[in-house]
Amino acid sequence: MRLLLATLVTLLLAAGCGSGESEPVEEEPGITFPHTVTLGPELALVAPTGEILDHADFLDGDLVTYKNQTIKLQSGCEVSQAHCRPLHICRPTPSSTPDTFTTVKEVCMVEPAEDEPSIIANAETGMGFTVRLNTANGFGRFWVKEVTGLGDSAKVTLVYELFHMEEEL
């Protein structure tokens, strides 16, 4: 038993000592959900990590912001802007005014149909929507907590969480 314990301690000590050539691997800190993020125009959000890309990268983001009257939201795209992921605005019918919510937990959890649009032309405070993620297999539900400013100075604060996430094969 003592020999086994001594061997184990020796192995642990040896693992801790190295040539100094390699750097320790730092794990990326995870985010907790629901997660809050504020975006201005021409940015992209990678929803699973909370990373904000400093340009409107529709190929590498799940949600992209553009300047419009207030701020335009668009889902990420697989290949080009002609092939973006569907986005579902939570409302009673496709032609009705979007429902208004006070928390992300109230927002619908509807998986967007492939024929739904990928754009919200002008985000409005209180609205909710879901989007098929571009960077992972799953969906995000988003609540527009606040929209401020116009054009170049517009900002949108979103609270979101992920649902129906699947492991990559």
Query: Can you point out the beta strands (E) in 9-62?
Result: 35-39, 43-46, 51-53
Q: How far apart are CA 152 and CA 149, in angstroms?
A: 8
- Mean residue pLDDT across the chain: 85
> What band does 19 get if pLDDT is binned at 50, 70 and 90?
very low
3-state DSSP assignment of residue 12: helix
In this prediction the pTM is 0.81
Tell me what the mean pLDDT of segment 84-111 comes to.
96
> What band does 89 get if pLDDT is binned at 50, 70 and 90?
very high
Tell me what the mean pLDDT of segment 136-160 comes to.
97
* 50 pLDDT above the threshold of 80: yes
Contact between 150 and 159 (Cβ < 8 Å): no
Give the pLDDT confidence score for residue 2 in this predicted structure.
Answer: 39
pLDDT tens, residue by residue, 26-37: 444 589 999 999
First to last CA, the chain: 43
- Tell which wins on pLDDT, 52 or 15: 52
**What CA dihedral angle connects 66, 67, 73 and 74, to 10 degrees?**
-40
Here the tokens at position 33 are 């959900």
Give the pLDDT confidence score for residue 82 in this predicted structure.
Answer: 85
Give the pLDDT confidence score for residue 169 in this predicted structure.
Answer: 58
> What band does 81 get if pLDDT is binned at 50, 70 and 90?
confident
Amino acid at 138: G
